Amino acid sequence: MINTRTASNIQSDMDWLHRIPKAELHLHLEGAIPLDTLWELIIKYGGDKSVPDQASLKSRLTYSNFPAFIEAWVWKNNFIRAYDDFLFIAEAIAKDLVRQNIIYAEVFFSPSRFTENTPMTTAGIAEAIRAGLNKVSECEIWLVPDLVRDHGPDNASRTLDEIAELKSFGIVGIGAGGSEHLYPPEPFSRVYEKARRLGFKTSIHAGEAAGAESVRGAVEFLRVDRIGHATRAEEDPELLDLLFETGTALELCPLSNIATGSIDDIMNHPVRRYFNKGLDISINTDDPGMFHNSMAEEYALLIHKFDFKRSEIKKLILNAVQSSWRPDKIGPSLIEKFTNNNNWA
């Protein structure tokens, strides 16, 4: 039985976590679609027999393992067919970020998953997303195209050439998600080198599905600024030292790791160990439209399962701000915007 004092503390934590300013660095546009927005798209395209009503959508987006998650990811993308859909999704996601008091975000989108199956172009998709984001002013959002490792280095290089012309839509870096086991980082080293020359920051998913070797490959061959997940990096203790020495920022997504089964038990998650070692970690939701998680719930988990203090939560949020890719010329400084916020008390 929950005693009332504990329940009251939990509510107090949730109130605080809701109102403080937050930042999100690892969020996929196509995985962040609010359920009511996705439902509107499904209806727009004639419905789907696997979801007879809106209430069944949440269970359709529940998984017992990583392949089941990927199946659902591909299924859901079938309802994004036109530029207007991207605009519609982007506006809904920006509003959802504002509702959570997330005031800064960097958002992945995966154009090549759509340019191969529809007449849409990378430029058109980026323009539509930016138009949707611009309808909401309270959250500052930058874009990070996902080069999608499953399409190989040549395709990634072509996508990179396209996005090099699209910086005016607020593109600040590149990422690469997809099948870590089948597509390790090393063959992408020239693509990442070229991205750096073009002035982009770099990230890659590693150590989520594949082991520590994928994280080492990302650091040594791609020389990335940030790594998505890296939960399995601790399988190689010397690699943790390397991450510390290089200052590589890690975008952790604890509730995502549970939802996909990539971590079997939340108590095995390395978040506390990484924090205590002084690694540069941030906390993120990854695909909240598919995992039904919020940023406040991510931090609540850290408080209640890993005994994080509020001062440590604030440090995690400021970590995210400091490892953000916001261009320097933009003012006033982002860190001041966060630290001067009145809602920390």
Q: What is the end-to-end Cα distance of the chain in Å, rounded? A: 30
Give 92 or 259: the residue with its C-beta nearer to Zn ion: 259
**Contact of 94 with 132, CB cutoff 8 Å:** yes
Q: Tell me how far apart the alpha carbons of residues 36 and 89 are, in angstroms, rounded to a whole number.
A: 11
Q: How far is the CB of 146 from Zn ion (least distance, A)?
A: 8
Q: How many residues bind Zn ion (CB under 5 A)?
A: 1
Nearer to Zn ion, 20 or 259 (CB): 259
Q: How far is the CB of 287 from Zn ion (least distance, A)?
A: 7
Supply the minimum distance, in Å, between the C-beta of residue 345 and Zn ion. Answer: 33
Please, what is the minimum distance in Å from the beta carbon of residue 36 to Zn ion?
23
Interatomic CA distance for residues 257 and 291, integer angstroms: 10
Please answer whether residues 57 and 6 qualify as being in contact, where contact means their C-beta atoms are separated by less than 8 angstroms. no
Collapsed DSSP state (helix, strand, coil) of residue 182: coil
User: What distance lies between CA 330 and its chain's CA centroid?
Assistant: 22
Residue with Cβ nearer Zn ion (249 or 303): 249
Kindly state the smallest distance separating residue 177's Cβ from Zn ion, in Å: 5
Q: Counting contacts by CB under 5 A, is residue 298 touching Zn ion?
A: no
- Pull the structure tokens for residue 34: 């609010």
Instruction: Give one DSSP letter per residue of 52-71, joined into a string.
Output: SSGGGHHHHT--SSHHHHHH
Which single residue brings its beta carbon nearest to Zn ion? 286
Complex with Zn ion: residue 106 or 286, whichever CB lies closer: 286
Query: Where are the extended beta strands (E) located within 152-296?
Result: 173-174, 201-206, 226-229, 249-252, 281-283
CB of 227 to Zn ion, least distance (A): 11
x/- map, 168-197, Zn ion, by CB under 5 A? ------------------------------
Name which of 124 and 211 has its Cβ closer to Zn ion: 211
Q: Name the amino acid, one letter, at 339.
A: T
Of 122 and 231, the one with the shorter C-beta distance to Zn ion is 231
CA–CA distance, 175 with 26 (Å, rounded to integer): 10
Sites for Zn ion among residues 277-296 (CB under 5 A): 286
Footprint of Zn ion (CB under 5 A) = 286
